[in-house]
Structure 1
Amino acid sequence: MPAFCRDCLTTFDNAPRRCPACGRPRIASHPELFSLSIAHMDCDAFYASVEKRDNPDLASKPVIIGGGRRGVVSTACYVARVRGVKSAMPMFQALKLCPEAVVVRPRMDEYVKASAAIRKMMQELTPAIEPLSLDEAFLDMTGTTALHGAPPAVMLARLVKRMKEDLGLTGSIGLSHNKFLAKVASDLDKPRGFSVIGKAETHQFLKDKPIGLIWGVGSVAQGALEKAGIRTFADLLRWERQDLSARFGSMGDRLWHLARGEDRRRVSAHAPVKSISNETTFFEDTSDTDVLDGHIWRLAEKVSDRAKARDLAGRVVTLKLKR
């Protein structure tokens, strides 16, 4: 089975338990490892990682990025996440779970600088880069093996290795045969993960997974699907394409394809963007102005993050409120 060492990048025909070249155990192996070329790179707790890099005193401490003691959590490092802290959580609740956490206000200028440095490294691998935000992007490495003298998997491992060595930041790689599965794969083994979903295993991998795995299916859409008895990919497979489309519109047709692991979207560096948005749904009504203000700030930062990743500026800002 094709394999390579994620530390020294030595390749093998059969996966050893430890790399014979450097002795380390971080071996990536998969039957399709050297034939897949669509990847998703996602930095690990990006904002918090930049803060820890720039302030070594924070290295072992739980760090929360947010707007002070009031408001909500923007993101948190993995030390804080182990304690139950999550994005969008009210700050008072996060501090109850992790009272020793260090709360840091975001420094967007520093995050933009770090993102630009990572993007420059990506551009050395392929021009086909589709940024999603400052800390994540799709890469299409098709046809680059001859250029680099190594398959895409090895070059992607080299990318995150350089990120760690040169920038002090880590990332996780998802490698597959389309964008949907590459993004799913990048979340399977964070932080510092390298996960592969091959063509041959796609249906077996997906069938028992919850529909919440689909990027873009939020709590409202998930609730509508569950009302229709759709909780897993296996449930989706039982529906006819026309019935899903009739019930859920364009989302239904997309779900029919994704249930089968099909995603024909290309990785495009120049895909037209008509709008950039972010929204959230509360599980219960709230009139707490600190919480509402915190959420508006957090969502605005996400929109700003995505715009900066694509070098875009906006002229119109719309706030949508449903009651």
Structure 2
Amino acid sequence: MAAAVALCRDCLALSAPAMGGRPRCRACGSPRIVSHPELTALSIAHVDCDAFFATIEKRDDPSLADKPVIIGGGRRGVVSTCCYVARTYGVRSAMPMFKALDACPDAVVIRPNMAKYVAVGREVRAMMRDLTPLVEPLSIDEAFLDLSGTQRLHGAAPAVTLARFARRVEREIGITVSVGLAPNKFLAKIASDLDKPRGFAVIGAAEAAAFLADRPVGILPGIGAVAEKKLAQAGFAKVGQIARADPARLVAVAGRDGLRLKALAEGRDTRRVEPVRETKSVSAETTFEHDIAALADLEPILWRLAEKLAARLAAEGYATRSVVLKLKTTDFKLRTRTLSGLPPTGLATRLYEAGRRLLAEECDGTPFRLLGIGAGDLCDPALADRGDLADPDAPREKSRADAIAALRKRFGDAAVQRGIVLRKGG
């Protein structure tokens, strides 16, 4: 095995690893050292923003720095994300809000501001694309990068380029990221979660099988709770058991997926970093404090959601030809209704009108605990709200919406409101 190389994540110096239990950079004395024999040879990375929503809120309000922060809303909603302080209390993403507040009653709860988070996500994404065109976004706050062949462009090995990128994000955007570096996507994603927050971890090809052997099979991509239970019942509870298994038996247990699982268990993953990953839909939803049945009470809530959806479409760079209504009943049964073939739009008024048509048909006295509105058939915003002889009002509505957005940007969201939000439910 090649000798290990040490990288200082503060001064970016490369050197031989320092000896001792708590090594420090030979150049600047920093303890933020990453050392690995394959460090300068690896080029596939997974970058994950740390507690993304919560970190942005703490950046924008320094008084929150040492406080537990939960992004979510309402005791019947769920946690979107939380900061690392809140996690020490046992709070986790997707946890019901009432459980999160029971665990951490002093938490500061902030409702999500998706338009702001999307804008910050785009800033980070732009910096990623300064490193390589091979960026595959997985969500608003994480992506795979392939930095193969970029050493001459950046004058440094991919590991150094990634450490420089993490410093730049922290300095210019004010949030932190964790980096996983590996020979493939599967291992890179695992690595990025090993040293959070503000981490940098490496998993090399030579150690991959041994590293994975004692981990549960649920760590493998595509293995959910049901598949994990089925594999465990067949004697495959650990990744190492799959790696050592006869391929024919794996196929008998897992079907055609068996050979894929064996390759992953051995640390092999042939998937490429795909730079194009199309957004399929954009949506906004809310869970109510109390069940609501009346259309008149649901309308102002739908309007608020339509405004959020319009803002998210604008931030993502889309318009839509399709509106989807989502309702969840008291017994957790889900209803989705779609209105397709609409003239392309990004206006809250048009989104609301379509959503209300669908909502009115569903208001039959059934109490609902959740309401959502989404845009499914996404399109270029240049095609939207242009108006024609059949729809001469669209340009005027768009100008009005742009003027309201400008006022809100200057004076806050409450500066201009429609009368509907003053009604019960708004």
Gaps of 5+ in 1: 278-287, 294-306
Unaligned regions of 5+ residues in structure 2, if any? Answer: 293-312, 335-426
1:106 and 1:42 mapped to 2: Cα distance? Answer: 19
CA contact (8 A) 1:42 1:172 kept: yes
Q: Distance in 1 between matches of 2:191 and 2:33?
A: 17
Structure 1 stretches (4+) deviating beyond 3 angstroms? 13-16, 288-293, 307-323
Mapping 1:149-188, distance limit 5 Å:
149-188=155-194
Structure 1 equivalent of residue 350 of structure 2: none
Greater radius of gyration (CA): 2
Residue 246 (structure 2) pairs with residue 240 (structure 1): yes
In the other structure, the counterpart of 2:13 is 10
Q: How does 1:215-234 map to 2 (within 5 A)?
A: 215-234=221-240
Tell me if the contact between 2:137 and 2:277 (Cα under 8 Å) persists in the aligned partners.
no
Q: Give the alignment's TM-score, normalised by structure 2.
A: 0.65
Kept in 2, the 8 Å contact 1:41–1:172? The answer is: yes
> Equivalents in 1 of 2:199, 2:219: separation in Å?
17
Aligned residue number for residue 73 of structure 1:
79
User: 1:8-31 deviations in whole A, cap 9, x for unaligned?
Assistant: 111113446222322211111100
* 1:124 partner SS: helix
Per-residue deviation, 1:292: 11
Greater shift in the superposed pair: 106-115 or 247-256: 247-256
Amino acid at match of 2:9: R
| Residue in 2 that maps onto 1:24 | 30
Q: Which residue in the other structure is 1:53 paired with?
A: 59
- How far did 1:291 drift? 11
Question: In the TM superposition, what is the alpha-carbon distance from 1:61 to its structure 2 partner?
Answer: 0.5
State the one-letter code of the partner of 1:13.
A
Q: Deviations over 1:95-140 (max 9, x none)?
A: 1111101111000011111111111111111000000001000000
| Contact map agreement 2:234 2:253 (CA 8 A) in 1 | no
Structure-2 residue corresponding to 1:210: 216
Deviation at 1:5, TM superposition (A): 0.7
Corresponding residue for residue 252 of structure 1: 258
**In structure 1, how many angstroms separate the alpha carbons of the residues matched to 2:291 and 2:225?**
18
What is the root-mean-square deviation of aligned Cα atoms in Å?
3.0
Cα drift, residue 89 of structure 1: 1.1
TM-score (normalised: structure 1): 0.84
Residue 93 of structure 2, aligned match among 82, 87, 92 = 87
Contact 1:134 1:308 (8 Å CA) reproduced: no
More strand by share: 2
- Tell me, in whole angstroms, the C-alpha distance in 1 between the residues paired with 2:50 and 2:319: 26
Please say if residues 209 and 266 of structure 2, whose CA atoms lie closer than 8 Å, have aligned partners that are also in contact.
yes
Aligned partners of 2:115 and 2:315 also within 8 Å: no
* Percent identity of paired positions between Structure 1 and Structure 2: 55
- Closer/same/farther in 2, CA of residues 272 and 75 from structure 1, 3 Å limit: closer
Q: Does the residue aligned with 2:25 lie in a helix, a strand or coil? A: coil
Question: Does structure 2 retain, via aligned residues, the 8 Å contact 1:2–1:15?
Answer: no
Please say if residues 15 and 27 of structure 1, whose CA atoms lie closer than 8 Å, have aligned partners that are also in contact: no
Q: Which deviations, in whole Å up to 9, do the C-alpha atoms of 1:23-80 show, x marking residues without a partner?
A: 2111111000000000000010001101111111111110111122321111111101
Q: How far does the alpha carbon of each residue in 1:147-175 deviate from its partner, in whole angstroms, 9 at most, with x for none? A: 11110001101111111111110010000
Contact 2:70 2:110 in 1 (8 A): yes
